[in-house]
Structure 1
């Protein structure tokens, strides 16, 4: 991991892994690394960033990405083994840079503003084709159910889905009904237009047993009744009640192997810098 401030130029014929954390403001980032396979970038305030890495297979990108200023060049392909995006701005255009990623990890913020939800919908209308999807959504005011369904509609060929439940103490005050936000429209909450024919396994992390968490489990069974396996890992210091167990069992499919109550030993797949207080 390199903490960088100011202009940066890295030219290496042998470099295979590179992690950059931008701690200041620079005008130019220039990386030319023909052997680079793994790239991690935390924060990108550069006026211009050029990354030439034809062997690149894994990208972790945290924060702003502007295709007019940040460019993958030098034969960098459009297909990855893994793409992880942690996006605090409203414009996750990095998702459009790559056509496919075997593993796609999305941790997106939807701000509690009236115009934020249509922007979220517009900028996630086309996701890279993937086999495994990890989703974490920090939603303060809007409907998390409609947000998750929207993402699933773009990922019809996944075989595994992981959902990281993000809990925060901020009061959830919503004007969505009053403002006729798309997130509360009945069309957005339909599950019959979600096609997950190849989905076999769903795994929840940091489950608390709250009504909202249980509703999301039910939602997934509505999207795909005959899952092969569902694993529900609980948050630290949480004991799931018998009532919650019975609720989940009541809408799970008899053929589904159901595991409830394991610890969330899962490593969070997001930037955990102090200024990025996801959980």
Structure 2
């Protein structure tokens, strides 16, 4: 089903023997989804949202995808931070995302355009959703940067929650990858949050943004954080892809 040139609100499928589903749609507003396909195995699901249609705080949902593969299935969420809209409809935002979880998944990929704002509160909210926190084994956060970004002002709504001290039970999370890490204070706080909430975490991969070099003080700060978690294999890469260090190797020495 491909509704690239149409706006869709209801999606209803009743197909008891269906095994493969490919769907692409545009959503003008909240989508009503009803899927009855108990034999469903392979899914390629993508939904694009109109600007400012579904939001939480300063964040608006841009695209949501769900794909299955042989080894794992992944839920992908694309969101953008904007000063132009603000929504306090937390419950509606969560419900909209959960509607698209039509099959089990083990990986969560977040593509975030933070526009200089703090993303920790938004990501911790997503990780706290019941079907996400109990399911994901792999988390990838891609931070999409602009060449020039303004830092958010004091008392910005993006810092409206106490996300730094939240306890999220990520009982299945084994691997985390963060791409575009700049080393701001709130990004360090996000690292610490993940470490404290994932008891069986095995690997942390950090890929630095263009602003960070191997001689930058921010690399030292990342190193200092990783030192406290000797059971986790932590790898750091420059934006060029050059390998910097692995904390696991340093401990072995």
| Alpha-carbon distance in structure 2 between the residues aligned to 1:137 and 1:197 | 24
**Pair 1:203–1:57, CA change in 2 (3 A):** farther
How far is the alpha carbon of 1:240 from its aligned partner?
3.6
How far is the alpha carbon of 1:184 from its aligned partner?
1.4
1:141–1:172 Cα contact (<8 Å) kept = yes
2:74–2:107 Cα contact (<8 Å) kept = yes
Secondary structure, in 3 states, of the residue corresponding to 2:219? helix
In the alignment, what sits opposite 2:172?
Answer: 198
Task: Report whether the alignment pairs 1:122 with 2:89.
Answer: no
2:202 paired residue among 206, 222, 228 = 228
Structure 1 residue runs of 5 or longer lacking an equivalent are 1-30, 32-38, 266-279
In the alignment, what sits opposite 2:236?
Answer: 260
1:103–1:131 Cα contact (<8 Å) kept = yes
Task: Report whether the alignment pairs 1:90 with 2:53.
Answer: yes
| Alpha-carbon distance in structure 2 between the residues aligned to 1:94 and 1:238 | 29
In the alignment, what sits opposite 1:139?
Answer: 114
| Alpha-carbon distance in structure 1 between the residues aligned to 2:11 and 2:113 | 30
**Pair 1:72–1:225, CA change in 2 (3 A):** closer
TM (norm. structure 2) is: 0.63
Aligned residues between the structures: 216
| Alpha-carbon distance in structure 2 between the residues aligned to 1:234 and 1:170 | 16
String of CA shifts for 1:55-112, please: whole Å, max 9, x gaps.
4445565x535466x87889698876454555443325997x99xx931000112432
| Alpha-carbon distance in structure 2 between the residues aligned to 1:122 and 1:112 | 20
Which structure 2 residues correspond to residues 15-164 of structure 1 after superposition, within 5 A? 31=1, 44-46=5-7, 54-57=18-21, 59=23, 64-66=27-29, 81=43, 83=45, 87=49, 88-91=51-54, 102-113=73-84, 115-116=86-87, 118-119=88-89, 122-125=92-95, 127=98, 128=101, 130-140=105-115, 143-154=118-129, 155-156=132-133, 157-164=135-142
1:232–1:259 Cα contact (<8 Å) kept = yes
Structure 2 residue runs of 5 or longer lacking an equivalent are 55-60, 242-253
Secondary structure, in 3 states, of the residue corresponding to 2:109? strand
1:64–1:89 Cα contact (<8 Å) kept = no
| Alpha-carbon distance in structure 1 between the residues aligned to 2:197 and 2:36 | 41
How far is the alpha carbon of 1:239 from its aligned partner?
2.3
In the alignment, what sits opposite 2:219?
Answer: 245
| Alpha-carbon distance in structure 1 between the residues aligned to 2:37 and 2:184 | 48
**Pair 1:144–1:246, CA change in 2 (3 A):** same
